[in-house]
Structure 1
Amino acid sequence: MSISSVLRGLATVNFYAVDHEAAKKWYSEFLVMEPYFNVPGYTEFRIGDYQQELGIIDAAYAPEGYSTNPSGAIVHWHVDNLQATLDRLISMGASEFLPITDHSQGKGTFVTASVVDPFGNVLGIMTNVHYLEMLKEKAVDKN
């Protein structure tokens, strides 16, 4: 087994919310789309260039020990305009968790920020040159 086949790609990111309906509405507004899958207590959006899934789960189904305090890994979603996306999230009621940070010694190739959504989940956003290179490569492969 090659190392590259161990983790093949992001499949689903799950966020928990005590008020599932409010979270579904908030993410529908932020993503400018309705969920593609919706049952009581679980909502799922397919987003982005690769249609990765973002699931919103009623916190009643959270694993034992789940905390509404922000913690754990931060998944960063690529965005085209980091500042505008951050501003929009904050205007919608999210709070800054980590400020805009350039991890590329001022080159602007890997820049991140993150917010805590109104439901206690950390949402990471970033501009990532590697992501854009992969998109370009995939477009060439299709031709």
Structure 2
Amino acid sequence: MSHNQTLRGFATISYWADNVEEAKKWYTELLGIAPYFERSGPDGQLAYAEFRIGDYQHELGLIDRRYAPTAAMPGPGGAVMFWHVDDIVSTLDKLLSMGAREYEPLIHRGAGFTTASVIDPFGNILGIMYNPHYLEILGSFQTE
């Protein structure tokens, strides 16, 4: 039996925006950091901005909606990617105060797991979660 895992870890999540400059400002305010990488399109307008965030420096990319796959459906999609947060209530309050709309309310799922999700002002689903397993794994890496 192979111990190699096909899916080895979260690499990048892409969020689409009609106005990447505005999305960049919004996410800079939310995250408290500026993107580390930006690229303009052929028209000179910002087409891509990428942030490295969190304990593992995961990538969040903001991409001009003009470059979305042709099969992409308009509006929020069916998948929700959840980011671990230490204080889900204050994070949810901050997102809502910044103009995000509730997608799924705060739900206590048992065993210490709590989730919520919003739709950012650009139409993307942003999931947040308090996840005890995330903290366990993070702690095991920090003690090695």
Q: Could you tell me the TM-score, scaled by structure 2's length?
A: 0.91
The alpha-carbon deviation at position 4 of structure 1 amounts to 5.9
Residues 99 and 2 (structure 1), Cα distance of their counterparts in 2 relative to 1, 3 Å cut:
farther
- SS of the aligned residue for 1:9 comes to coil
Residue from 128, 134, 139 that aligns with 1:136: 139
The alpha-carbon deviation at position 5 of structure 1 amounts to 1.1
Q: Give distance in 1, aligned partners of 2:3 and 2:48.
A: 33
Please list, as runs of the form range in 1=range in 2, the aligned pairs for 1:10-49 lying within 5 A after superposition.
10-40=10-40, 41-49=47-55
Q: Give distance in 2, aligned partners of 1:31 and 1:138.
A: 24
The range that moved more, 37-46 or 4-13, is 4-13
Q: Give distance in 2, aligned partners of 1:4 and 1:89.
A: 38
- SS of the aligned residue for 1:134 comes to helix
Aligned to 1:7: 7
Residue from 106, 114, 120 that aligns with 1:117: 120
Residues 23 and 68 (structure 1), Cα distance of their counterparts in 2 relative to 1, 3 Å cut:
farther
The alpha-carbon deviation at position 3 of structure 1 amounts to 6.2
Structure 1: 5+ residue runs without aligned partners?
Answer: none
Aligned to 2:61: 55
Aligned to 1:80: 86
Contact 1:42 1:57 in 2 (8 A): yes
Q: Which amino acid aligns with 2:67?
A: Y
Aligned to 1:101: 107
Contact 1:68 1:121 in 2 (8 A): no
RMSD, aligned α-carbons: 1.3
Q: Which amino acid aligns with 1:66?
A: A
The structure with more helix, counted as a fraction of residues: 1
Residues 68 and 119 (structure 1), Cα distance of their counterparts in 2 relative to 1, 3 Å cut:
farther
Aligned to 2:43: none
Structure 2: 5+ residue runs without aligned partners?
Answer: 41-46
Query: Where in structure 1 do 4 or more consecutive aligned residues deviate above 6 Å?
Result: none
Q: Which amino acid aligns with 1:111?
A: T
Residues matched between the structures, number:
138
Q: Give distance in 1, aligned partners of 2:3 and 2:127.
A: 25
Q: Percent identity?
A: 53
